[in-house]
Structure 1
């Protein structure tokens, strides 16, 4: 505890989470989704897209492009964070590189003429990628929120009170 300024030590939950087994699970899930999507789009998805109506075919093409772009951005973010976790780069370096990664992309429409014709597997991959994106966005906010120049460090009320008591009554430590 720091008695000079009255602040206790804080726990950085974002960084702690990023170094946890939960992050490693998220990483594996994300990379598996990338592989599953690539496999689908290069195989069964290609065959399924041939029999679609014109409107469904346009939706399929648009959604598959959005899906691959989204997954590549998410994979880039996951790889950056893994590099930090393994000591290959600092959190600050990852923050600078992260600015090149867009983890916020527009949601897919999931309605309209032709959407019901889009193969269920593509619709499932789109939905799963968006859930992964939401999880990563929340983790990103937790990790990098303190890196913003305008972010203020929240005072620790307990630390402040202990600091006041220590100053008022002295310490025999």
Structure 2
């Protein structure tokens, strides 16, 4: 038997609705497509481009491609956890426990002046991965904010959550 308050139950339902929304589905596809596209690039044309680079830039290429791969694997792990919630394979509470193993701040890229020396396609993949990371972090904060933060009177998160809820409900129609 659950001892959740009505407020917590409503917020869990909101969080579960977010993972079941069309917006989450779009984010999931975007993330998985980026993982596949990056793997294809790094195993294909990226390998050829890396061989043509000067030695110092080649080291930067290796470092940044590892950071990109690490970042994408962490993002994919988060997305897969929340897809499991959507599919009913685990509860949001279970996903919240498991997500502590996922590092959404993993492997931020180096300074812009270093990234600018890399092949254009790798630069674009890095930039797209950072946009995806920002979206996932934002959604993670919304879904997994402690109940006290989400329900406190006067808390600025409450109106934001209500706007998000309304937006997701409109998208789901």
Q: Please report the TM-score for the alignment, with normalisation by the length of structure 2.
A: 0.77
Ranked by relative contact order (alpha carbons within 8 Å, sequence separation 6 or more), the top structure is 1
Partner-residue secondary structure (3-state), 2:125: helix
Partner of residue 65, structure 1 = 66
CA distance in 1: counterparts of 2:64 and 2:35, whole angstroms: 15
Deviation at 1:110, TM superposition (A): 4.0
Partner-residue secondary structure (3-state), 2:32: helix
Deviation at 1:15, TM superposition (A): 3.3
Q: Could you say which structure has the higher helix fraction? A: 2
Q: Please report the TM-score for the alignment, with normalisation by the length of structure 1.
A: 0.77
Q: Are the counterparts in 1 of residues 74 and 103 from structure 2 also a CA contact under 8 Å?
A: yes
Partner of residue 136, structure 1 = 136
Confirm whether residue 125 of structure 1 aligns to residue 122 of structure 2.
no
Which of 1 and 2 has greater Rg? 1
Q: Are the counterparts in 1 of residues 50 and 61 from structure 2 also a CA contact under 8 Å?
A: yes
Partner-residue secondary structure (3-state), 2:88: coil
CA distance in 2: counterparts of 1:29 and 1:16, whole angstroms: 19
Partner of residue 166, structure 1 = none
Distance change >3 Å, CA 137–CA 115, structure 1 → 2: closer
Confirm whether residue 154 of structure 1 aligns to residue 155 of structure 2.
no
Partner of residue 54, structure 1 = 55
- State how 1:14-93 maps to structure 2 within 5 Å: 14-93=15-94
Deviation at 1:52, TM superposition (A): 0.5
The one-character-per-residue Cα deviations of 1:81-104 (angstroms, maximum 9, x if unpaired) are 000011100001001110111111
CA distance in 1: counterparts of 2:68 and 2:26, whole angstroms: 21
